[in-house]
Amino acid sequence: MTRALLIVDVQNDFTEGGALAVEGGDAVASAVSAHLAAHSADYNVIAASRDWHDADSDNGGHFAEEPDFVDTWPAHCVAGTEGGEYDPLLVTDAVTHHVRKGQGVPAYSMFEGVTDDGATVAAVLSERGVLTADVVGIATDHCVRATALDAIAHGVRVRILTDLIAGVGAEPSEAALAELAHAGAELMTSAAAFESDSE
C-alpha cells in the first residue's frame, strides 16, 4: 500500500518558547523523530510543512496587533527567522518533500503550500499513487485538522496518529478529532497503526 506521512508545522514558533507555543510541542517533535527512525521505510512520501509567512506584511490579514486567535494571530513563523525553522528535536533526514505555506496569505492546510520545486502536496501524492496518509504534528485544532480534511477531500484514506499531535486547546482539539472521525479519518496511536499493518 502506498502511504505518506504528513508532518504538519513542527516549528519553533509552535513549540515551547515560541510566539504561538503549543504545550507538548517539543514532545511531539521528539516522538515524530522516533517514529521516523522506526518507520521511515514504511512511507513512500514523507512531507513536512512549515508556515513561512512574509516579513513586513500582515499576510492577507493573518497577522494582527490585536489578534482574536481565531482568524488573526500575532506574528509567527516569518520566513528566514528562527521561529520559522523546524523544532531542533525534529530529525528531518528522512523527509522527502519540504512544504512552505502562508507566503503572503493565511494558510492552515499543508495542501495550501508548495514544495521547494513548486509542486502542490496533492500533485505529489497523486504522482506517487498515495492511497493512505498518516497525519501528525501541530496543532490538532488548526493546521492538523485542515490538512487532514484536505487529504480526505483528495480521496486519501487518513489516519491521525494521536500520540504524535498536540493542540492549542483541549476542547477544540477534541472537537477537531471528532470532526475528523466523522469525515472518515481513523484515530489511532502510532503503535496501533503499525500493529494493524503487521497482522
- Active site includes 143? yes
Q: What is the 3-state secondary structure (H, E, C) of the chain?
A: CCEEEEEECCEHHHCCCCCCCCCCHHHHHHHHHHHHHHHHHHCCEEEEEEECECCCCCCCCCECCCCCCCCCECCCCECCCHHHCECCCCCCCCCCEEEEECCCCCCCCHHHCEECCCCEHHHHHHHCCCCEEEEEEECHHHHHHHHHHHHHHCCCEEEEEEEEEECCCHHHHHHHHHHHHHHCCEEECHHHHHHHHHC
- Residue 77 annotated in active site: no
Catalytic residue from among 26, 87, 143, 150: 143
Of the residues 51, 101, 134, 150, only one is catalytic, namely 101
The catalytic residues are 9, 101, 143
